Amino acid sequence: MKRFLLFLILMTVMPVLLGMGSLQGPASPEKIPVPVKKYTATILDQMDVVAQCSDVSIEGETFLEGKRGEGNYTISFDNIEQILFLFNADRLTGIVKLHDGGSSELTLNKNQKLYGRTRYGTFQIKLQDIKKIEISDAPQR
């Protein structure tokens, strides 16, 4: 009987306790990760819509991370001129064009997000929804 009573109390209280996280309200769209180094980028999405962004980062970081073979690679935005994204059979591939003329192909995490600021407000997009990114250093102020 005690176990049943304890179970009944727990089942009554649990929805209230689990719902308390929602009392804080939704995450503010103004809050995006702020990278240490500032970059600007032109993002072309899969619907050919262009976004000009400043304070660009991928999950708050200023590098692209992916796999090549069995190895994990990171390429700093300092070295990247542009990235072409190809989404095929649930796999996202990034073809990275480097400033030195070289290129590299990485398998990327399709669910990672790119963040930035436009002149209208903040910007977020999953990597799988991007067709192309062109990266440059932010203008000095």
Percent of the chain with pLDDT over 70: 76
Spatial CB neighbours of 118, under 8 Å, sequence gap ≥ 6: 51, 52, 53, 54
Confidence of residue 20 (pLDDT cuts 50, 70, 90): very low
**Mean pLDDT of the region 36-58:** 95
In this prediction, residue 10 carries a pLDDT of 55
In this prediction, residue 32 carries a pLDDT of 86
Q: Is the pLDDT of residue 48 over 60?
A: yes
Mean pLDDT of the chain: 85
Measured distance CA(129)–CA(86) in Å, rounded: 10
Confidence of residue 17 (pLDDT cuts 50, 70, 90): low
Q: Where are the domains of the chain?
A: 39-137
Tell me which amino acid residue 139 is: P
**DSSP structure class, residue 100:** T
Residues 80, 97 contacting (CB under 8 angstroms): yes
Tell me which amino acid residue 129 is: D
In this prediction, residue 7 carries a pLDDT of 60
**DSSP structure class, residue 61:** B
pTM equals: 0.75
Spatial CB neighbours of 43, under 8 Å, sequence gap ≥ 6: 50, 51, 53, 114, 116, 123, 125, 130, 132, 133
Q: Determine the 3-state secondary structure of 69 from DSSP.
A: coil
